[in-house]
Structure 1
Amino acid sequence: MTARCGGRGPRETAICPRTGQQVLLWVVLLVASASVMNAQAQMLPSTPLPPVIDPTGRSGTPPPLQKEEPVPPQPPPLVPPPAPPPPEKPRAPLLRVFVREIRIIGNTVFSAEELAAVTAPYVNRELTSEDFESLRQALTLYYVNHGYVTSGAVIPDQTVTEGIITIQIIEGKLSRIDIEGTTHFWPSYLRDRIALSAGPPVNIKVLQERLQLLQQDPRLARINAELQPGVVRGEAELHVKVAETSPYKAWVEFNNFQTPVVGAERGLGTVSHQNLTGHGDPFSFTYGRSEGVNPLIDTSYSIPFTPYDTTLSASYRRNDFLVVEAPFNTLNISSQSEIFGLSLLQPVYRTLNHQVNFSVTGERLFNKTILPGFPNFNLIPGSQNDAAVVSALRFIPEWLYRTPSTVFAVRSRFSVGLNVLGATINPGFVNGVQVPDGRFFAWLGQVQAVQRLDRLWGLQVLGRYDVQLASDSLFPVEQFPVGGRFSVRGYRENTLVRDNAMVATVEARLPMLRSAQTEDLLQIAAFLDYGNAWNNGNDPVTPSREFLASAGLGLRANFLPQNRGYFEVYWGNRLNHITNPRNDLQDYGIHLQLVVQVL
């Protein structure tokens, strides 16, 4: 069933065509930008580049900063406890007392000066029983208006002397938190996190925000909460009902995001359990292969071990490469890499829109490249016995800002190479050339922004900037790859692999077809990519600095509900032409991906 853009019913698909003028204008702007960059690029000489491999295998995966998801929908409001019935009017004759001073006890949230502003109209005057009740309600309402709906004021029995009366504040607290509906989570996992915002005293606004933060967890489909009065005055009980999503995930993927040197087209299969033991601990395992890569293994496990989401993660990645592209395939060059990682992450600040994390990661990276028949010939500069080992300690602060239409993220990674765990150590220079060493310092900075412009037909604009700066020559496992789907499209994966690099990209995505739930089913994209890279030292093999630039178009399609089936194809036009074989789709600027989620 098809609906017009103005209104949609359930299970309807809204087809929002762009007028010919809109699409034509968009393409003209892209072509004009590409023409200017192409004119500049033609003034630079072409540079033939040898085939290279990113031994980590990470260049064909999205960067860790790739966050395009808006803020998820908020849960229903927390239901406050019912208001107590109004007290009955006194039947006895009205009491009249002259009040010179009002003393308040039991208050911790508000200072005596803040509450004095509430009681000021009742001081130095004669009060009746009704006035005392009005005073008590005014103090209670002051707490309620600030979110403390279970707190209030009481006037205890007392003898008034010298015009001084005492009012007691009972600041509410939660006596229990009941969790219902969990199927994979341990109730204590949710209870401990809710308790962080449960006071005392209980503030319904703070509690509501905590529930909204929990709702951002994709493993929770829905959260409903109700605050009810407890048995004891001033106490309350929180009843929470949750609905979970399935923690079992599995998907298959095909793409050409790998260097053609080892076979660009690869297949990947991933199985994942998002909540392995019920403590919010995800586990994933990926296996993949291509013509020259078998196996590609990537597995990780993370477990938060405090209610503050202090998380310990372990990861392992392995790639076995064989060069299959002519003319180097006759040499039977092979390469193996293994990466072991251990990480500790601590969120230090978190609200509905902001999140600041700090993590410390230790990695041991091993890379061995073999050229049969030449046992003493090291293909990796600085390697020993054909192998290079790096033991790196990384410090990573990151900040994320999200709204329903905006994503902005910043990530900074400081890496220090240590002489531990068998790291490869070399003298600084050999024959006047700086040799890579396991001791180094490098910084990687990443910035990403996504903005949806609803007034411009739901146009999405994405920008990303990555830069790596190193103080020393690096082994290939630490170098930065430039070229390919997630850096500069239109070029081969790993066209440049250097110590230092900078990559910038701007992309616009225009929805052409949307579902009734405003999910983009079909988008056309236009992009501009730029990158440059250079090595440290006076390496005679690679030029001092090289750059890549491209402009192109893309098509993105979600062909199954809830993004369970996804296809994309990008074509990039090289603005700086380099010498490459023309025997792969990447050599024609084409990058494609197909993902199907089976669980």
Structure 2
Amino acid sequence: MFFKQILSTTVFFSLTWTSTSLAQLTPESQFPFRVSTHKHNCQSKSNSSVSNLHLLFAQTGTPKVPSGILEPTRPGLPPSPSTPLETPTPIELLTPPSETPLNSPTELDVKVKVREVEVLGSTVFSSEELEAVVAPFIGKEATFEDLLAIRTAITKLYLDNGYTTSGAFLPPQDLTDGIVTIQVVEGAIERIEINGLSHLRSSYVRDRLNLAAKTPINLRTLEEALQLLQINPLLDSVQAELSAGTAPGLSVLTLNLKEAKAFSGSISLENRESPSIGSLGGNFKLNHNNLLGFGDRAYAEYEITEGLDKYNVGYQFPVNAHDGTVNVRYEKYDSEIVEEPFSDLDIESDSYTLSLGFRQPIIRTTTSEFALSLSLDLRQSRTFLFEDEPFSFSVGPEDGKSRITALRFSQEWINRYPKRVLAARSQFSFGLDAFDATINDLGVDGRFTSWLGQFQWVEALSPDIILVARVGKQI
């Protein structure tokens, strides 16, 4: 392990059969890149509304197992298509009251030749889209019912595009010139009420909902934002209700939330290390997904074998409502050759890595995610012979000491199905002549360019048996 060359071409493929559940599959389950899933039989629940003015959107008991490639805290498998998230009952629009002259019984039979339809208050649709809706009424003799049909056609345009709390009405007007005015009231969220949080700050939830709660309210966009909250590992259950506000067109979004358990730990016995440092060892992990209350995560890991002591600690925190995160990681690695016949040489190595990175999802839905990340890694390693004599096992390092400064650009893609998770990762690494990096014309050189590609397939054959296949190539 001490003779690893920086530039290499590696192709690896493995097929794993394991008797465990998707919920037990963790990012650290010997994946070359990390993908986590949870059980595929999670259910979606919704409650009946008391009146047709309420939207209830709820799910409880959703397993919260991460799904990211690099970070261990990402959402797990989405609900099965056999039990999809139920479409909420459409909200019946409350149109603003109006006292128009056309409402008087004496004018119901009056006909007006429609020369033009003027739509006021619409910010979503272009003039061309609105003209296409009212075109059948232009140039015709219109009765009171026809005018109502114009209003209904515009309201339908909003409803068909997901703007369920928006609509149109006829304001008081003079129709002698043949110009019909239609007023649109675009639905808005008056306020968001958040209940049930204890440690997680309400601003964390509010900021993510505000992305979907822009005026006018689009019910489809709002549903998707709620679904993303449902699979958020910080929340155990989400219930949302959209009800009428204090004025026509205004709504109140009420959320009843239950936080998920933030702290977790594990102890495992593994034999995944090289026999040269002792294949059998113990692994201890601690993780807190919400340390300070704003979705920040801290983790620590310790691994030990006969010839290995490895420490890994990290901290990451969100920097925007789109789940962009900054992460800091420190890793310390001390090892010793314990395998015969080299154990008598007392070959030892110690290294540390300090990493600072930023990860930003570009596309994120309940079933797929595409993210970009950029990180800067500082790595120093030293090798010794006879315990404390610095020794270089390759050309380049002086007295067994080498330093690498690497800039890494990664692209990650995950697609989740009811019983399957597909994930791919591409990473470009560039060795920089910075921070006292080891520079040599021969041998180990801190200036390099490499690419790593990885793909993984996880298939649930039964609730307790999964199949894992992975392949990778490094250049």
Report if aligned partners of 2:37, 2:77 keep a CA contact under 8 Å in 1: no
How far apart in 2 are the matches of 1:198 and 1:131? 34
- Structure 2 residue matching 1:385: 3-state secondary structure: coil
| Structure 1: tracts of 5 or more residues without a match | 1-50, 429-434, 470-599
Counterpart position of 2:130: 115
Deviations 1:508-529 (A, max 9, x none): xxxxxxxxxxxxxxxxxxxxxx
Q: How far 1:369 sits from its partner (Å)?
A: 0.9
Report if aligned partners of 1:105, 1:167 keep a CA contact under 8 Å in 2: yes
Report if aligned partners of 2:195, 2:256 keep a CA contact under 8 Å in 1: yes
Structure 1 residue 84 and structure 2 residue 99: aligned?
no
Q: 1:140 to 1:293 in 2, by over 3 A?
A: same
Counterpart position of 1:309: 323
Counterpart position of 1:45: none
How far apart in 1 are the matches of 2:294 and 2:348? 41
Report if aligned partners of 2:382, 2:390 keep a CA contact under 8 Å in 1: no
Deviations 1:253-307 (A, max 9, x none): 110111121111111111111111111111101122121123x111111101111
Report if aligned partners of 1:415, 1:441 keep a CA contact under 8 Å in 2: yes
Report if aligned partners of 1:148, 1:172 keep a CA contact under 8 Å in 2: yes
Structure 1 residue 66 and structure 2 residue 46: aligned?
no
- Structure 2 residue matching 1:278: 3-state secondary structure: coil
Aligned residues: CA RMSD: 2.9
Counterpart position of 1:341: 355
1:441 pairs, out of 410, 433, 449, with: 449
Counterpart position of 2:399: 385
2:337 pairs, out of 316, 320, 323, with: 323
Structure 1 residue 256 and structure 2 residue 266: aligned?
no
Q: 1:162 to 1:244 in 2, by over 3 A?
A: same
Counterpart position of 1:240: 255
How far apart in 2 are the matches of 1:378 and 1:54? 12
Q: Give the counterpart letter for 1:421 in structure 2.
A: F
Report if aligned partners of 2:93, 2:166 keep a CA contact under 8 Å in 1: no
Structure 1 residue 196 and structure 2 residue 211: aligned?
yes
Report if aligned partners of 1:379, 1:386 keep a CA contact under 8 Å in 2: yes
Q: Which moved more, 1:127-136 or 1:396-405?
A: 127-136
Larger RCO: 1 or 2 (CA < 8 Å, sep 6+): 2
For residues 497-576 of structure 1, the aligned pairs below 5 Å read none
Q: How far 1:357 sits from its partner (Å)?
A: 0.8
Q: Give the counterpart letter for 1:464 in structure 2.
A: R
Counterpart position of 2:474: 468
Q: Which moved more, 1:115-124 or 1:361-370?
A: 115-124
Deviations 1:358-400 (A, max 9, x none): 1111101111110028846422442112111111000111222
Q: 1:305 to 1:374 in 2, by over 3 A?
A: closer
TM-score (ref. length: structure 1): 0.63
How far apart in 2 are the matches of 1:79 and 1:239? 16
Q: How far 1:312 sits from its partner (Å)?
A: 0.3
How far apart in 2 are the matches of 1:341 and 1:82? 53
How far apart in 1 are the matches of 2:467 and 2:374? 32
- Structure 1 residue matching 2:134: 3-state secondary structure: helix
- Structure 2 residue matching 1:257: 3-state secondary structure: coil
Deviations 1:210-259 (A, max 9, x none): 11122221221211111112212222221111112110101111101111
Counterpart position of 1:297: 311
Q: 1:79 to 1:238 in 2, by over 3 A?
A: farther
Q: Percent same amino acid at aligned positions?
A: 36
Deviations 1:298-337 (A, max 9, x none): 1111101111222100001111112222222222221101
- Structure 2 residue matching 1:162: 3-state secondary structure: coil
Counterpart position of 1:415: 429
How far apart in 1 are the matches of 2:270 and 2:121? 65
Q: 1:376 to 1:248 in 2, by over 3 A?
A: closer
Report if aligned partners of 2:2, 2:349 keep a CA contact under 8 Å in 1: no
Counterpart position of 2:410: 396
How far apart in 2 are the matches of 1:437 and 1:424? 6
Report if aligned partners of 1:398, 1:409 keep a CA contact under 8 Å in 2: yes
Report if aligned partners of 1:78, 1:226 keep a CA contact under 8 Å in 2: no
Q: 1:179 to 1:219 in 2, by over 3 A?
A: same
1:126 pairs, out of 132, 136, 141, with: 141
Structure 1 residue 357 and structure 2 residue 357: aligned?
no
- Structure 2 residue matching 1:63: 3-state secondary structure: coil
Q: Which moved more, 1:86-95 or 1:387-396?
A: 86-95
Q: 1:425 to 1:114 in 2, by over 3 A?
A: same
How far apart in 2 are the matches of 1:139 and 1:239? 29
- Structure 2 residue matching 1:303: 3-state secondary structure: strand
Q: Which moved more, 1:65-74 or 1:162-171?
A: 65-74
How far apart in 1 are the matches of 2:407 and 2:97? 66
Q: 1:463 to 1:265 in 2, by over 3 A?
A: closer
How far apart in 2 are the matches of 1:453 and 1:377? 50
Q: Which moved more, 1:414-423 or 1:377-386?
A: 377-386
Q: 1:320 to 1:442 in 2, by over 3 A?
A: same
How far apart in 1 are the matches of 2:131 and 2:28? 64
Counterpart position of 2:283: 268
| Structure 2: tracts of 5 or more residues without a match | 7-26, 39-75
Q: How far 1:90 sits from its partner (Å)?
A: 5.0
Q: How far 1:338 sits from its partner (Å)?
A: 0.5
How far apart in 1 are the matches of 2:86 and 2:259? 16
- Structure 2 residue matching 1:193: 3-state secondary structure: helix
Q: How far 1:103 sits from its partner (Å)?
A: 1.5
- Structure 2 residue matching 1:116: 3-state secondary structure: helix
Report if aligned partners of 1:118, 1:138 keep a CA contact under 8 Å in 2: yes
